Amino acid sequence: MVTESSLKFRHIVENLSSNPGAEIVRYGRRKAGVLSLGQGEGDIATPDFIMRAAEEAMRQGKTFYGPVLGHEELRQEIATYYARLHHVDLPSHRVFVTGSGTTAMHLALTALLDEDEEAVAVTPIWKNLVGAVELAEARVREVPLRYQEGVWHLDMQQLFDSCTPQTRVILVTSPSNPAGWVMTREEMRTLLEFTRARGIWILSDEVYARTTYELVHAPSFLEVAEPDDLLFVVNSFSKNWAMTGWRLGWLVGPAAAEAAIRDIAIYDNMGPPSFTQFGGLAALRHGEDFIEQQRQLWRANRDLVHETFRASNRIEAEKPAATFYSFFKVEGEPDCLALARRLIDEVSLSMAPGCAFGKVGQGYMRMCFAVSRPKLEDALDRLQTALKR
């Protein structure tokens, strides 16, 4: 008979740091009628042209094991996407298709980190990246963005000073989930020069590269890096093409990393499903109009949230340059986890607590506004009702 004392897992699993964001999602699901803006997705289903492509692939029998790092046709199409959008000459053997952007992060960090090494993370940052470092039995050192005069910015010298002889990788998310901060190309060049001199890797999460408002896309490290730089770039089909449930992403790295990533992926899940990759092909080839439609919705919703928050005498928030999140503070509510629970209990509204994104996020809340206008207006009404109590 299995008892609590005999049910023992690896110490690293039993000692994983808490995930307040996941905790609040679970808490909200216990109650009927909760309006959730806590996860990073909208409420528009995947476009028909993507679903038809996957359906046709299934009907053609593409339901068997495929290449571990993805079908060559999709790897080449991702390379073509970078050439078209970023003017980067990227050979397909540097592109590794993965079963989600999260999987791409895990594969990269599994390849890089040994026990007791360090990852320096620019925060606020998505908790899954931190969790992947912990599972590798490595340590995370946080370098917080600074919020000054309504703008988030990175102190590059602080980032450099935080690196030690044990630092193996620097984690950067640009555009930032949840802050909306965007790293400039000049900052990317400066960071690359620093890491080259010290043999440190960069893992750049660029999943939100198309969720920009003044630019067609955010800068990518691939635009300023050399082919053999110690650089992994993570991306995903989830946000741009409303494919969160498809679990399809990719990783770009130096050509010399291909064998290592393939070998890890074999033991992870043998590669992404075959038929979903044909949906990804359709997204890359025919999805620009859909991305623009989404950007128009996100822009209008961003403006509504900003106007609503600016009219409040209790909410402090920046108008984000990118992403579909508002990362805001409420005066008199320093405990964001308690506020997140109260919003669910009192007005059936679920949002992510800022403490889920690192120490700098304490006291903040993250609202995803990539939803229909009526749903967003309802959420804002519920929030204002709660804050008046």
The total number of residues written for the chain in this structure = 389
- Please tell me the CATH code under which domain 62-287 is placed: 3.40.640.10
- Give the model's pLDDT for residue 389: 76
Name the token pair of 77: 């199409």
Rounded mean pLDDT of 141-145? 98
The matching CATH number, chosen from 3.40.50.1100, 3.90.1150.10, 3.40.50.1820, 3.30.565.10, for 11-46+289-387 is 3.90.1150.10
Rounded mean pLDDT of 136-163? 95
Q: What is the pLDDT of residues 295-323, one digit of tens each?
A: 999 999 999 999 999 999 899 999 999 99
Quickly list H helices, the chain.
11-14, 20-29, 48-59, 72-86, 101-112, 127-135, 156-161, 185-198, 258-268, 274-286, 288-311, 336-347, 373-387
- Report the mean per-residue pLDDT for the chain: 96
- Give the model's pLDDT for residue 2: 62
What proportion of the chain, given as a percentage, has pLDDT over 90? 93
pLDDT band at residue 266 under the 50/70/90 scheme: very high
What does each C-alpha distance from 166 to 11, 12, 171, 176 come to in angstroms? Answer: 22, 19, 14, 25
243 within 8 A of 47, measured Cβ to Cβ: no
What proportion of the chain, given as a percentage, has pLDDT over 70? 98
- Give the model's pLDDT for residue 4: 62
pLDDT band at residue 37 under the 50/70/90 scheme: very high
Q: What is the pLDDT of residues 367-382, one digit of tens each?
A: 999 999 999 999 999 9
pLDDT band at residue 355 under the 50/70/90 scheme: very high
Is the model more confident about 285 or about 149?
285
Structural domain spans, the chain: 11-46+289-387, 62-287
| Encoded amino acid at 376, one letter | L
Evaluate if residue 139 carries a pLDDT over 70.
yes
pLDDT band at residue 10 under the 50/70/90 scheme: confident
- Give the model's pLDDT for residue 3: 65
